[in-house]
Amino acid sequence: MAPLLPSSQPWVEKYRPKKVKDVAHQDEVVRVVTNTLETADLPHLLFYGPPGTGKTTTALAIAHQLFGPELYKSRVLELNASDDRGINVVRTKIKDFAAVAVGSKPHQGGYPCPPYKIIILDEADSMTEDAQNALRRTMETYSKVTRFFFICNYISRIIEPLASRCAKFRFKPLSEEVMSGRILHICNEEGLNLDSEALSTLGSISQGDLRRAITYLQSAARLFGSSISSNDLISVSGVIPQDVVESLFTACKSGDFDVANKEVTRIIAEGYPVSQLICQLLEVIVNAEDIQDEQKARICKKLGEADKCLVDGADEYLQLMDVASHTMRALCNMQQELCFS
Amino acid sequence: MLWVDKYRPKTLEKITVHEDIARNLKKLVSEQDCPHLLFYGPSGSGKKTLILALIRQMFGAGAEKVKLENKMWKIDAGSRTLELELKMLSSTHHVEMNPSDAGFQDRYVVQEIIKEMAKNRPIDTKGKKGFKVLVLNEVDKLSREAQHSLRRTMEKYSASCRLILCCNSSSKVTEAVRSRCLNVRVNAPTEEEIVKVLEFIGKKENLTLPAGFAARIAAQSNRNLRRAVLFFETCRVQQYPFAANQAVPPLDWEQYVSEIAGDIMKEQSPKRLFSVRGKLYELLVNCIPPEIILKKLLSELLRKLDSELKHEVCHWAAHYEHKMRLGSKPIFHLEAFVAKFMSIYKEFLIASFG
């Protein structure tokens, strides 16, 4: 690929740690991996955890530290969800790559260069079950010359036989201190001005996802220049302003269907994403003190159902209307079901 | 030329409705560098206008010379070769397409076509903008697999290709894609803003508007600017000079739906259900999307109902719309909703009036 223009590179890539020891906040993982790096003896690895916690970064860093830039191309195969990974690919591409034996030329150019290759399967939870099954035997047969790294968000989507063949590492969401440390580092490098309020806002809206935090930061920096306030960050992140959520909640409390209908129509016309709204509404309802537990439970159940429907692709207006009407009935102690007797 | 196209602002400076967004976009572009963008908002709010103006701002007038081509793609999908035909609008600097047209094969479109396009980096003699812009419409209609494929593609080819995604509801776009883009929310213009636009067009066309006429069009347009301008032009064709109390003709399908609502309210019987089915088919045959029929029908019914029934009816509408999304034949679910409504309403009538 042509050399990148320095400015056109996303900060997420620019500040991706190059070495395993630079990965933030995952102490256990880093400790174990550094040990194995010294001995160059590596099991199959399975990294799982929420997005933006450093899984791909760690995997790439291990590969780079083992082989160095020269051997990297021939020793590492990187596959992710944007490549086709049906059962055919497992049977041909992966197997062919895994079967090739490599000579050991230890310590070339300061890198350990152990006598095996690495296959990185990013976003492995989007692989079909058949494809995963086809991998089982391949992994064992070629274990002398090939190591597999699996990276996924949900370990439950990896079939048990594969998971049991790997050393598992859980990546935990980043705490706010660690995150603000990284963010401040980037701010220094880029010459940005971030006050403490904006920093804590960034921590709370990104919910432990460092990639998201950096993306927000970069977007805000592009739009608003070098000094960024917390409002700027909120407007970039697509979080719904709290007063919109509050006004919907008040409309539900009023007990008048038409008021709620009007409010919902307005929200849809403003273009706020409903799935986000449901999350924030949940927060408001759980934290509200003047609602009884039973009412809360009823509302939460409906919120869950609506979220599922939205994932299935149902219409936003109708689902939000349904949520609003249920919330209203729960709050005003109206009958949940209509009965004529 | 329709007024909608004639008065579509061509540059970011001329945009009047979303001035703040336009200003921000301009700032983005002026730094020679632009992230991936995701525009979302209701229809008729001006997403496309903003995108076109943005592209023009990036590349100058050259981006307006577009050609429409029907390209055949041969895709090697393991055991078989797929042939896909897709329409795309392209200029030297950008390509615009609608990947969801490929139906269930949209994953291949995203994987192959975008990769191919992104790999071909344009060479500019001045050596400045080394990237192409790819506009993808209706990303919310893409399948889950296709959206997953999109995420890595976006990162990998970010040096040579910028994606501009456009959709109605960002709930249907996966979190992974959303977090890689700068999200731009385009809200529907308020009625005052629509009135201003209508008055502007009226002035340009040398029309005299009676007081309150523009406001009435705006009220009927449901905060959809495109529809408002179309209404305005229809009125102009019907009668000019405008009468002070000239009626704004409703869309014929909307009228048809409200007739259906009236039918259902009048009589609840299998026979009426049968006649309603015919009318629903009529609407579907004329390519009115089923969820829009359902929403309109609901809002018509809500207007006529007692408040105690509203909750129940609303719940069932949401229920059947969800079912419709999972199923494959919309007519069943529309009819089921009508039947459910009839049964609820009949029961209510019997309970209250005996």
| DSSP-assigned letters across all residues of A74-86 | HHEEEE-TTS--S
What is the reported pLDDT for A80?
A: 74
Residues A98-122: what's their mean pLDDT? 78
- Indicate whether B241 pLDDT > 80: no
Do A82 and B151 make contact, defined as CB atoms within 8 angstroms? Answer: yes
What are the distances in angstroms from CA B222 to CA B43, B49, B167, B193, B345? 11, 19, 19, 13, 28
Do A82 and B322 make contact, defined as CB atoms within 8 angstroms? Answer: no
User: Residue A6's pLDDT band (boundaries 50, 70, 90)?
Assistant: very low
What are the distances in angstroms from CA B301 to CA A222, B51, B163, B265, B315? 48, 37, 42, 8, 13
Residues A146-167: what's their mean pLDDT? 89
- Give the chain A residue whose CA is nearest to the CA of B191: A269
- C-alpha span between B271 and A237 (Å, rounded): 53
User: Residue B45's pLDDT band (boundaries 50, 70, 90)?
Assistant: confident
The domain ranges of chain B are 3-185, 191-238, 252-353
Instruction: Report the range out of A9-13, A192-196, B53-57 with the highest average pLDDT.
Output: B53-57
DSSP B12: G
Q: What spatial distance separates the first Cα and last Cα of chain B, rounded to whole Å?
A: 59
- C-alpha span between A215 and A237 (Å, rounded): 9
- C-alpha span between B248 and B285 (Å, rounded): 26
Q: How many CB atoms lie within 10 A of CB B117?
A: 18
Whether the link from the prior residue into A112 is cis, omega within 30° of 0, is no
- Indicate whether A5 pLDDT > 50: no
Residues B216-244: what's their mean pLDDT? 85
- Give the chain A residue whose CA is nearest to the CA of B143: A313
CA distance B277 to chain A (A): 22
- Indicate whether B308 pLDDT > 90: no
pLDDT, tens only, B68-117: 888 777 777 666 777 878 888 888 778 888 887 777 777 777 777 777 77
Residues 6+ apart with CB under 8 A from A18: A61, A64
- Indicate whether A242 pLDDT > 50: yes
What is the reported pLDDT for B315?
A: 92
- Give the chain A residue whose CA is nearest to the CA of B308: A338
Is pLDDT larger for residue B114 or for residue A269? Answer: A269
Q: How many CB atoms lie within 10 A of CB B225?
A: 22
Q: How many CB pairs under 8 A join A and B?
A: 174
Which candidate from A223, A276, A341 shows the least CB-CB separation from B27? A223
Residues paired with residue B73 on neighbouring β-strands, in sequence order: B84
Do B307 and A238 make contact, defined as CB atoms within 8 angstroms? Answer: no
* Cα dihedral across residues B293, B294, B295, B301: positive or negative: positive
Do B318 and A86 make contact, defined as CB atoms within 8 angstroms? Answer: no
User: Residue B272's pLDDT band (boundaries 50, 70, 90)?
Assistant: very high
Q: Which residues of A touch B184 (CB under 8 A)?
A: none
User: Residue B295's pLDDT band (boundaries 50, 70, 90)?
Assistant: very high
- C-alpha span between A181 and A177 (Å, rounded): 6
The reply to whether B344 touches chain A by the CB within 8 Å rule is: yes
The model's pTM is 0.79
Do A7 and B310 make contact, defined as CB atoms within 8 angstroms? Answer: no
Q: Which residues of B touch A309 (CB under 8 A)?
A: 318, 322
Which candidate from B35, B153, B294 shows the least CB-CB separation from A219? B35
Residues A311-336: what's their mean pLDDT? 87
Burial status of residue A115 (CB atoms within 10 A of its CB: 0-12, 13-18, 19 or more): middle
Residues paired with residue B267 on neighbouring β-strands, in sequence order: none
Do B152 and A122 make contact, defined as CB atoms within 8 angstroms? Answer: yes
Is pLDDT larger for residue B60 or for residue A259? Answer: A259
Q: Are A318 and B321 in contact (CB under 8 A)?
A: yes
Do B311 and A256 make contact, defined as CB atoms within 8 angstroms? Answer: no
CA distance A205 to chain B (A): 12
- Give the chain B residue whose CA is nearest to the CA of A91: B78
Q: Are B142 and B103 in contact (CB under 8 A)?
A: no
Do A9 and B158 make contact, defined as CB atoms within 8 angstroms? Answer: yes
What is the reported pLDDT for B44?
A: 85
- C-alpha span between B297 and B299 (Å, rounded): 6
**Mean of the per-residue pLDDT values of chain B:** 84
Do B111 and A7 make contact, defined as CB atoms within 8 angstroms? Answer: no
> What's the one-letter identity of residue A288?
A
Residues A290-305: what's their mean pLDDT? 90
Is pLDDT larger for residue B153 or for residue A161? Answer: A161
**B37-40 and A76-79 beta bridge pairing:** unpaired
Cα-based torsion angle of the residue sequence A50, A54, A56, A62 in order, rounded to the nearest 10 degrees: -140
Do A218 and B35 make contact, defined as CB atoms within 8 angstroms? Answer: yes
Is pLDDT larger for residue A72 or for residue B354? Answer: A72
Domains and their CATH numbers in chain A: 26-170 (3.40.50.300), 176-237 (1.10.8.60), 242-332 (1.20.272.10)
What is the reported pLDDT for A3?
A: 39
- Indicate whether B333 pLDDT > 90: yes
**Mean of the per-residue pLDDT values of chain A:** 83
Q: Which residues of A touch B117 (CB under 8 A)?
A: none
Interface of B with A in 252-311 (CB under 8 A): 291, 294-295, 298, 302, 307-311
- C-alpha span between A301 and B84 (Å, rounded): 43
Q: What is the ipTM of this complex?
A: 0.85
In terms of CATH architecture, what is B3-185?
A: 3-Layer(aba) Sandwich (3.40)
- C-alpha span between A268 and B120 (Å, rounded): 39
pLDDT, tens only, B167-200: 888 888 887 788 778 888 888 888 888 998 888 8
Interface of B with A in 188-207 (CB under 8 A): 188
∠A323-B170-B42 over CA atoms, to 5°? 85
What is the reported pLDDT for B207?
A: 84
What is the reported pLDDT for A305?
A: 93
CA distance B206 to chain A (A): 31
Which candidate from A51, A219, A319 shows the least CB-CB separation from B318? A319
Question: Which of B193, B111, B99, B92 is CA-nearest to residue B152?
Answer: B111
- C-alpha span between A318 and B77 (Å, rounded): 39
Do A123 and B152 make contact, defined as CB atoms within 8 angstroms? Answer: yes
Do A269 and B308 make contact, defined as CB atoms within 8 angstroms? Answer: no
Q: Are A302 and A322 in contact (CB under 8 A)?
A: yes
The reply to whether B6 touches chain A by the CB within 8 Å rule is: no
For an interface test with A, the pick among B152, B191, B340, B346 (most A C-beta atoms closer than 10 Å) comes out as B152
- Give the chain B residue whose CA is nearest to the CA of A85: B78
Do B159 and A223 make contact, defined as CB atoms within 8 angstroms? Answer: no
Is pLDDT larger for residue B179 or for residue A47? Answer: A47
Interface of B with A in 15-74 (CB under 8 A): 24, 27-28, 31-33, 35, 40-42, 45
What is the reported pLDDT for B8?
A: 86
What is the reported pLDDT for A24?
A: 75
Residues A71-95: what's their mean pLDDT? 77
Is pLDDT larger for residue A120 or for residue A10? Answer: A120
The reply to whether B143 touches chain A by the CB within 8 Å rule is: no
- Give the chain A residue whose CA is nearest to the CA of B298: A318
Instruction: Report the range out of A201-210, B77-86, B320-329 with the highest average pLDDT.
Output: B320-329
Which candidate from B110, B159, B318 shows the least CB-CB separation from A322? B318
CATH of B252-353, one of 1.20.272.10, 3.40.50.300, 1.20.58.100, 1.10.10.10: 1.20.272.10
Is pLDDT larger for residue B112 or for residue B42? Answer: B42
What is the reported pLDDT for B158?
A: 73
DSSP A277: H
- Give the chain B residue whose CA is nearest to the CA of A257: B307
* Cα dihedral across residues A19, A25, A27, A29: positive or negative: negative
Is pLDDT larger for residue A215 or for residue B296? Answer: B296
What is the reported pLDDT for B271?
A: 93
Q: Which residues of B touch A332 (CB under 8 A)?
A: none
User: Residue B297's pLDDT band (boundaries 50, 70, 90)?
Assistant: very high
Residues A23-44: what's their mean pLDDT? 81
- Give the chain A residue whose CA is nearest to the CA of B321: A314
- Indicate whether B342 pLDDT > 90: yes
Residue in the structure block whose two tokens are 């201003």: B196
What is the reported pLDDT for B340?
A: 93
Q: What percent of chain B has pLDDT over 70?
A: 95
Do B35 and A341 make contact, defined as CB atoms within 8 angstroms? Answer: no
User: Residue A197's pLDDT band (boundaries 50, 70, 90)?
Assistant: confident
